[in-house]
């Protein structure tokens, strides 16, 4: 019966969810509180992580000097001393991605449960959890933007691994090895090798959530994502809703969340966000982005152009492709 209702009520994009999701003031109800508190512990550390990443300068100078003078022991030690604490920071970011993935699991568990009939009711009635989900997406896109523009991260980590293996071959004790052993180094290296590591962690985590909850239809998860994208789009294009934002920053928050959830949907949904059968109005979402001041959304448009999975599929509507050119 539930699936029949879904078919009858969600055959097209005409019946968009239409409600105000209060990203600024949503507070948890008693029913939401347990999950909200678990996730809040993680989110409290998110700003600090972004601040540390933004301040990350790398050890490029020390590494260059050490490579140019391989027999100068003092320069080798100086480079190693500069890199080890930086690797500790990179390890911290990686471990935070695992905490974030666990928080996402908790939220998806609540927002896709059978408590309510559909994802619209979930997001409308569990606004504090929806806000936390949005904050995770907002953090993820910001983290990946900062990482993409900082080549020092991968250079530092590569140097660390090369130096560590050379020390092992020469039986030199390495203080820094306590920081990151070989197995962990492999995992961290894979994490940073991705152009958008935090987004990949979230999409892998969402896919894992779907595969671990086989009793839950995949539509419960993908509908949660598409509904969130639609709610953001509707709030941004409806003056009555948009005027309720107390801060202009909420507009950019909303735009970033809309793009993040589209990319996540594109990875998790079998045919992606750009297919004809997608429940996201991609033309409408791109139009909302293009209606903003260009310099404020170029990074988000680039995220859709270069970090989605299905944009360049043959099945993608030509109009959508040309809108993103």
Tell the burial category of 177 from Cβ atoms under 10 Å away from its Cβ (0-12, 13-18, 19+). middle
* DSSP assignment of 146-198: HHHT-THHHHHHHHHHHHHHHHHHTT---GGGGTS-HHHHHHHHHHHHSSSHH
Percent over 70 (pLDDT), the chain: 90
**Residue 85 pLDDT > 70:** yes
pLDDT digits (tens, 9 = 90+) for 156-194: 999 998 888 887 777 666 665 556 777 888 899 999 999
- How far lies 102's CA from each of 41, 139, 189, in Å? 12, 15, 21
**289 within 8 A of 231, measured Cβ to Cβ:** no
pLDDT digits (tens, 9 = 90+) for 233-268: 998 988 888 888 888 899 989 999 999 999 999 988
Confidence (pTM): 0.86
Is the C-alpha dihedral spanning 137, 24, 281, 226 positive or negative?
positive
Mean pLDDT throughout 40-67?
95
pLDDT digits (tens, 9 = 90+) for 57-69: 999 999 999 999 9
Residue 15: DSSP 8-state: S
């Amino acid at each position: 019966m539930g699936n029949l209702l879904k078919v009858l009520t969600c055959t097209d994009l005409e019946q968009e969810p239409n409600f105000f999701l209060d990203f600024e003031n949503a507070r948890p109800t008693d029913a939401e509180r347990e999950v909200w508190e678990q996730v809040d512990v993680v989110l409290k550390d998110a700003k600090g992580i972004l601040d540390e990443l933004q301040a990350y300068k790398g050890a490029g100078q020390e590494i260059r000097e050490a490579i140019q003078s391989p027999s100068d022991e003092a320069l080798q030690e100086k480079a190693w001393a500069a890199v080890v604490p930086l690797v500790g920071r990179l390890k911290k970011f990686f471990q935070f991605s695992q905490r974030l993935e666990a928080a996402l699991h908790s939220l998806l568990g609540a927002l896709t449960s059978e408590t309510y009939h559909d994802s619209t009711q979930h997001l409308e009635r569990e606004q504090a959890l929806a806000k936390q989900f949005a904050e995770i997406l907002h953090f993820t896109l910001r983290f990946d933007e900062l990482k993409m523009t900082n080549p020092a991260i991968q250079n530092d980590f590569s140097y660390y691994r090369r130096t560590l293996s050379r020390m092992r071959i020469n039986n030199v004790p390495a203080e820094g090895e306590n920081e990151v052993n070989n197995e962990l180094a492999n995992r961290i290296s894979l994490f940073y090798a991705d152009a958008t590591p935090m987004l990949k962690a979230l999409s892998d985590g969402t896919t894992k959530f779907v595969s671990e909850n086989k009793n839950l239809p995949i539509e419960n998860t993908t509908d949660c994502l598409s509904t969130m994208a639609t709610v953001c789009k509707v709030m941004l294009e409806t003056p009555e809703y948009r005027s309720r934002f107390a801060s202009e920053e909420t507009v950019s928050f909303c735009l970033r969340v809309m793009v993040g959830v589209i990319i996540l949907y594109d990875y998790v949904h079998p045919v992606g966000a750009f297919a004809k059968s997608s429940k996201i109005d991609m033309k409408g979402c791109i139009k909302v982005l293009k209606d903003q001041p260009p310099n404020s959304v170029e990074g988000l448009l680039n995220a859709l152009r270069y970090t989605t999975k299905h944009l360049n599929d043959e099945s993608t509507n030509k109009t959508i492709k040309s809108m993103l050119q």
